[in-house]
Amino acid sequence: MQSWGTRSRFDDRDTEAEPTKSGVLGLAAAALGIDRAEPVTHLAALAFGVRVDRPGLPLHDYHTAQLYPGSRKAETSLTRRAYLSDAAFWAALSGDPELLADLHAALRNPYWPLSLGRKAFVPSVPLWWPEALRTSPLLDTLRDAPTLRRTGDSDGPYRFMVDRREGPGPLRHVTPGERRDDPAAPFAQRRYTLRDVVGWTEMLPALHSPQPYPFQKVTT
């Protein structure tokens, strides 16, 4: 399970259809041991993009929380929380090589526990991949990553959502947009700015046959 909210307000907690930059940078900060009150300007400067291999199933549930428990003013709040089930994505960051090398090492041995948008959503497989560091452009790296689809999954096009400056140029059917998920201050302040993005779908014929999950060792 995972959840990547950008518009959450009070008791209604949303999720986007793919990982957000703020969510992935929050995961990176946890791996590196960056406190929520510390600046993350160096992380926010990284370019960001996502490839959707399995969109998963959007679901929601309800939680109750009691405000001021044990007091006469105790109130029960009902919250609606959306999440994605059984989704799989590649998320790529591009920028300072030293910072990315440190992050690559930290994902193998994280300082704090990692989560997929919410602390309760712990990854079911390791997020570290030995071949993750690349010298190719962000979009080329996303296009070349092994498929995360499984036997029986769709062999249709893959969906991309990347920073506009990292986009595919004159490719047809590219849809521009904005996401308010670029950290403008330490995470504890919950301040985010708009990020220009482009989205599109694209066939990747070389990846269509489901391959062994790249984080698992294959034995015969």
Separation of alpha carbons 144 and 9, rounded Å: 37
**Has residue 5 been placed in a domain?**
no
pLDDT at 76: 78
pTM: 0.87
Where are the alpha helices (H) located in 3-157, listed in sequence order? 21-32, 41-44, 97-108, 138-144
**Has residue 220 been placed in a domain?**
no
**Has residue 4 been placed in a domain?**
no
- Residue 52 belongs to a domain with what CATH number? 3.30.70.2660
Give the DSSP letter of residue 4. Answer: -
**Has residue 72 been placed in a domain?**
yes
- Which domain, by its residues, includes 70? 12-207
**Has residue 119 been placed in a domain?**
yes
**Has residue 35 been placed in a domain?**
yes
**Has residue 18 been placed in a domain?**
yes
Give the count of domains, the chain.
1
**Has residue 216 been placed in a domain?**
no
Q: Over its length of 220 residues, how does the chain's per-residue pLDDT go in tens digits? A: 999 988 766 677 789 999 999 999 999 999 999 999 999 999 999 999 999 999 999 998 887 877 666 666 667 777 888 999 999 999 999 999 999 999 999 999 999 999 999 898 999 888 999 999 999 999 999 999 999 998 888 889 999 999 999 988 766 688 889 999 999 999 999 899 999 999 999 999 877 665 555 555 444 3
